[in-house]
Amino acid sequence: MNKTVLALLLLSVLSILLSAQTVSNLRAVLEPSCSYYIITYDLSGKAGDEYLINLTPYQGNQEISNLRYASGQGIDAATTAGKDLQIFWHPGLEGEKPGNWQFRIAASVSLMVRVEGGTFM
């Protein structure tokens, strides 16, 4: 019995890892005329899943979480896996100066489900 439970647990973990989303090919360019960053990334994942993106800019020991002025694919609304997805971030609107900002991106599966309008109990 214990071997069966262990085998099922291992298979569950393996299936989660194989279907996990992966962010790769992260590139960031500072637009010199407006001082905002264009962050481009690739997102791989399970077909049909939608993902929400968490962007974290950092430079040196400084890290900014809970951005107010980021927008783009996966930020404003859930996105599907794809290549060359883009996010825009303006450090000046966050009260920061443009500089040598680097970025971390984490993707999580969106748990939102579309529900048709009507009366509910």
CA atoms of 17 and 94, how far apart (whole Å): 35
**pLDDT at residue 74 greater than cutoff 80:** yes
Q: Are 41 and 81 in contact (CB under 8 A)?
A: no
Rounded mean pLDDT, 84-100: 93
69 or 46, which is more confident: 69
In this predicted structure, what is the pLDDT of residue 62? 93
As beta bridge partners, residue 30 has 37
Maximum mean pLDDT: which of 4-8, 23-27, 85-89: 85-89
In this predicted structure, what is the pLDDT of residue 73? 93
In this predicted structure, what is the pLDDT of residue 121? 66
pTM for this model (two decimals): 0.74
Instruction: Report pLDDT digits (tens) over 18-32.
Output: 457 888 999 999 998
Residue-wise over 61-77: b if at least 16 C-beta within 10 A, else e?
eeebeebeebebbbbee
Q: Are 94 and 64 in contact (CB under 8 A)?
A: yes
